[in-house]
Amino acid sequence: MVEAPAPDPERLSTLESSWNSRLLGVLEEAGWLEGASETLMGWLQPLLAAPGAARVKDLLHGRWLGHALHPVLTDAPIGFWMGAAVLDLAGQEFAAGLLSGAGSASAVATAVTGLADWTVTDGRERRLGLLHGLVNVAGLCLQVASLGARLQGRRGAAKSLSYAGLGVSSAAAYLGGELVFGRGLMVNHDAWTAGPDEWTPVLPSPQLPERVTRRVDLRGHSVLVYREAGRVYAMEDACAHAGGPLSEGEVEDGVVTCPWHGSRFRLKDGAVMRGPATFPQLRLQARERQGQIEVRGRKG
Ligand code: FES
């Protein structure tokens, strides 16, 4: 009897578990995506480092909205293009052309927000995100070609290109869904954490000097504790953006900066002062009692 090969310990188990995860595994490990990602990041670097870029990025990430902006906008082009396809089937070609144009215009705005989110990804997510973007660009090109054919009165070609574009964009949407629901990209990494109801000692007081960040273990997950001007602060250590260790970040003026992509959170209330995070950081209550730093989950 032939024994099944031993699983590769270096390979994520999620890439082996189903046909679609195996397919995605092949795609996201493609070497050319890594090279293309580096090239694109090189091109974007001057823009990302330009004065005022942080504010523009915050706008594009959706910090003002309280969650990621890109997924909100993705409904627009898909909805317009789907409407155009239905109207084409119904023989309403002028109206279909209007929706097709609106879909292509909204796709450009959607792509810009997606590109902003992509610049704060790493590794597999960055490669899969680039593939998602490239497939979307292909879908947009087909829709623009469809619009051009409509304007030239080539109705058959316009419809075919529109249907093909919709199919390609749907494949890109699948990859986008995998990034959000399968990988947790731009979702709140602290969404299911609440902290204990009762005060729990986490550190002897002398081990928390003023203005020094410490990571402590609270029932199996990490919490950042910090003391300044006699007040003790505590918040989830895993950054709400992508889980970066806030305890390894700098604190300045009561604001901690994530070492991974630079999100900034106010210690007193967890508010996001700068993205790419769009969700506030979960804060816990903290105090010093009988020589111990104690923490508990926030009430309300
Ligand atoms: S993990 Fe991305 S900013 Fe913290």
Q: What is the pLDDT of residue 97?
A: 93
In a domain, 57, yes or no: yes
The rounded Å distance from CA 80 to ligand 1 centre is 33
131 and 51, same domain (yes or no): yes
The DSSP string of 121-171 is --HHHHHHHHHHHHHHHHHHHHHHHHHHHHHTT-HHHHHHHHHHHHHHHHH
Q: 230 lies in a domain?
A: yes
Note whether 134 and 34 are same-domain residues.
Answer: yes
- Number of C-beta neighbours around residue 94 at 10 A: 8
Would you say residue 155 lies in a domain?
A: yes
> What's the pLDDT score for residue 11?
55
Residues 213 and 77 in one domain: no
Same domain, 155 and 215: no
Q: Are residues 46 and 130 in the same domain?
A: yes
Residues 164 and 207 in one domain: no
pLDDT of residue 197: 83
* Confidence (pLDDT) at 15: 55
Q: What is the pLDDT of residue 10?
A: 53
Question: Which ligand 1 atom lies nearest to the CA of residue 263?
Answer: 3
Domain assignment present for residue 91? The answer is yes
The percent of the chain in helix, strand and coil, each rounded to the nearest 5, is 50, 15, 35
User: Bridge partners of 264?
Assistant: 257, 274
For a mutational test of ligand 1's pocket, the pick from 224, 260, 272, i.e. the residue with the most ligand atoms closer than 8 A to its C-beta, is 260
267 and 218 within one domain: yes
71 and 171 part of one domain: yes
- Order across the sheet with 283-289: list the strands: 200-204, 292-296, 283-289, 231-236, 221-228, 214-218
pLDDT at residue 289 in the model: 92
User: Do 25 and 167 sit in the same domain of this protein?
Assistant: yes
Q: What is the reported pLDDT for 24?
A: 81
Pocket of ligand 1 (CB under 6 A): 120, 239, 241-244, 258, 260-263, 276-277
User: Nearest Cα to 64, choosing from 281, 271, 283?
Assistant: 271
Is residue 79 domain-resident? yes
Which class for 116: exposed (0-12), middle (13-18), buried (19 or more C-beta within 10 A)? Answer: buried
CATH code of 238's domain: 2.102.10.10
Residue from 126, 237, 263, 272 whose mutation best tests the ligand 1 pocket (most atoms within 8 A of CB): 263
State the alpha helices, DSSP H only, in the chain.
19-28, 31-48, 53-61, 70-89, 93-118, 123-151, 155-177
Residue of 188, 258, 281 to mutate, ligand 1, most atoms within 8 A of C-beta = 258
pLDDT, position 235: 93
What confidence tens digit (pLDDT) does each residue in 256-266 have?
Answer: 999 999 999 99
Low-confidence ranges of the chain (pLDDT < 50): 1-2, 4, 7, 300
Is there a domain that residue 13 lies in? no
Residues 172 and 215 in one domain: no
Q: Are residues 205 and 285 in the same domain?
A: yes
Per the structure, how many domains does the chain have? Answer: 2
Are 80 and 117 contained in the same domain?
A: yes
The per-residue pLDDT for 189 is 80
Structural domain for 286, as ranges: 200-296
For residue 239, give the ligand 1 atom closest to its CA.
4
**Does this model's pTM top 0.75?**
yes
pLDDT at 181: 84
